[in-house]
Amino acid sequence: MRIPTTVTLAIALVAPAALSPTSPLAAQEHTGMYDGPTVLRAARMLDVETGEMHTDAVLVVEDGVITAVNPETVPHSMHDMNLGDVTLLPGFIDAHTHLGMEISATSFTDAVTRTEAWRAFNAVVYGGRTVRAGFTTVRDYGGDVTVELGHAVESGHIVGPRVVPSRNALGITGGHCDVTGFAPGVREGGVEQGVADGPWEVVEAVRYQIKHGAKVIKTCATAGVLSMEGPVGAQQYTLEEMTAMVEEAARHGIKVAAHAHGPEGILAAVQAGVASIEHGSVLTDEIMDLMIEKGTYLVPTTYLADRIALDALPPLVRGKAEEILPVMRVSLQRAIERGVPIAFGTDAGVFPHGENAGEFGIYVQLGMSALDALRTATIHAADLLDTPDRGRLAEGMLADVIAVPGNPLDDIEVTRDVRFVMLGGRVIKHVMGGRDMHSMGH
C-alpha cells in the first residue's frame, strides 16, 4: 500500500513589530533576539574539551545558536559586543537543584501550610538568580512546579535556566522521598507523588512521572538528611525495585538519578544501572571501581556543607547533617583520585539559589584541576543529562554563553563572579563598570 504523501506545513514566523525608540521594550534591542547575527568578542575563550585557551576570541550567534567560532571573516553585525578582559565559557549546568524550595525555618511545615502557587512564584525568583549566576541549565527535582518552570523559560515568558525535570522523585513509603513527620492521613502519597513500593508500583510510578513531564527519574536509594526518618545512610529501595525502575525508564530513553548516602544503597543503585549517584557520601573501593566500569557519574553536592543553615534544622535532621557532610568530602577526594566520572551538582535550595558556583572551588581544593572542574559543569553534565546541544562553545550548539573576569584556569573562584550571561542568544546579564547593563531576571 502506498503511503499518502504528507503535506508539509510551512510555518511562517510572524515578525515582531518594530520597536519605537521610546518603547520600554527597546532595551531588548541589545538582546540579539531579532534578525541578524550577534558578535561576541572577548580577551579569552576556553575550549573546555581540549583545554585550549583562545585569545582575542570571537563568537557569532544567530537564531539562538552559535554559528561560528573565531571565523576568518567576522560578519557585519549591528550587535557587535566587546566584553573586554573576560573569559567566555559555555553556560554552566547544575545536575542537582531544587528550584521549588529554599531552606528556611519553616521548610519542614511548608508541605502543609503552603500551596503550589507559592512554590511557583518562589521558583521564578530562584530560577532568575540561578541563570544570572551563569547556570543556564539545571536538572531539577521539584514536582510540577519545576516542570512548568522549564516550559515558561523555553517559551521566553520568564528568565530562568533551561530545566531537565524529574517531576516527583520515587521513594518508598516513609522514606526520604516521601513526606514524613505528619499524622496519618496528612500528605500521604501514592505513585502520582512518587511513593511506590515493589517493582510493579515502581514501574507504574516511573510511567506516571514520564507522562507528566519527567525527563529524568530521580529516586531515593537510601535515607537522607533533610527528612524525619531514621539513619541517614540506610538503604531504602531494594536492588529488585531499582532494577525495575532503571529498566522501565530505559524503555522511554530516560535515565535514573539516585540520591544515595550509605554504601549498601549506593552499590545496589550502581548495580541496578542508575546514571548518577547523587551525594555519594560513603564510597568504598568496590563502589568506585564499579562506577568507573559502568560510567556511573558521581554528582557530589559538597558546597552545601559550608552554607547549610544548621540552626534552621530540627535536632534530628541537624544531627544527620553533622554526621554525613564531613564524610562526603572524604569520599569525593578519593573519587577524584581514583578517576570516578564526576558531574557538577549542588543541591541548591538546601543553600541559597545563585551560589551554585561555590561547588567548583571545593572540587579544586580536593585535588581536581580547574579545567576538570569546569568540565564537570559543561561536557560531563551535558553527557549525563543527554543534552548534546550544550556544554561547549562550538558551531551548532545552543548560544548559552557566559563570561567570567580573568582566567578561571588560574583562579576557579572567578566562576562566582559571572559578568555576562546569554541564554539562547538573548543577553540577560551584562555587568560593566559594576553596573548590570542588561539586567533581566528576578
Is 94 a residue that touches Zn ion (CB under 5 A)? no
CB of 177 to Zn ion, least distance (A): 10
- CB of 234 or CB of 371, closer to Zn ion: 234
CA distance 175 to 231: 11
CB of 345 to Zn ion, least distance (A): 8
Residue of minimal Cβ distance to Zn ion: 347
CB of 436 to Zn ion, least distance (A): 30
CB of 350 to Zn ion, least distance (A): 6
Q: Which range, of 12-20, 130-138, 343-351, 411-419, touches Zn ion by CB under 5 A?
A: 343-351
| Residue 387 near residue 398 (C-beta atoms within 8 A) | no
Among 62, 201, 347, 400, binds Zn ion (CB under 5 A): 347
Q: Which range, of 329-337, 340-348, 371-379, 401-409, touches Zn ion by CB under 5 A?
A: 340-348
Q: Which range, of 249-257, 331-339, 342-350, 398-406, touches Zn ion by CB under 5 A?
A: 342-350
CB of 98 to Zn ion, least distance (A): 6
CA distance 376 to 106: 33
Give the DSSP per-residue string, 303-319. Answer: THHHH--GGGS-HHHHH
R_g of the chain computed on alpha carbons: 22
| 152 CB-near residues (< 8 Å, 6+ apart) | 124, 158, 160
| Residue 276 near residue 258 (C-beta atoms within 8 A) | yes
Q: Which range, of 101-109, 153-161, 262-270, 346-354, touches Zn ion by CB under 5 A?
A: 346-354
| Residue 415 near residue 328 (C-beta atoms within 8 A) | no
Instruction: Tell which positions 227-286 bind Zn ion, by CB under 5 A.
Output: none
- CB of 258 or CB of 414, closer to Zn ion: 258
- CB of 86 or CB of 258, closer to Zn ion: 258
CB of 299 to Zn ion, least distance (A): 9
Q: Which range, of 239-247, 345-353, 377-385, 423-431, touches Zn ion by CB under 5 A?
A: 345-353
CB of 337 to Zn ion, least distance (A): 25
CA angle 235, 347, 247 (to 5 degrees): 50
CB of 96 to Zn ion, least distance (A): 6
Residue in this structure with the C-alpha cell 538519578, named with its chain if needed: 257
- CB of 67 or CB of 137, closer to Zn ion: 137
CA distance 337 to 76: 48
Number of residues binding to Zn ion, judged by CB under 5 A:
1
Give the per-residue contact string, 351-370, with Zn ion (x = CB under 5 A; - = no).
--------------------
| Residue 347 near residue 97 (C-beta atoms within 8 A) | yes
Any bridge partners for residue 118, and if so which? none
| Residue 176 near residue 224 (C-beta atoms within 8 A) | yes
Q: State the DSSP code for 330.
A: H
CA distance 266 to 277: 7
- CB of 241 or CB of 347, closer to Zn ion: 347
- CB of 347 or CB of 383, closer to Zn ion: 347
Give the burial string for 134-172 (b: 16+ CB within 10 Å, else e).
Answer: bbbbbbbbbbbbbbbbbebbeeeebbbbbbbbbbbbbbb
Identity at 266, one-letter amino acid code: I
Footprint of Zn ion (CB under 5 A): 347
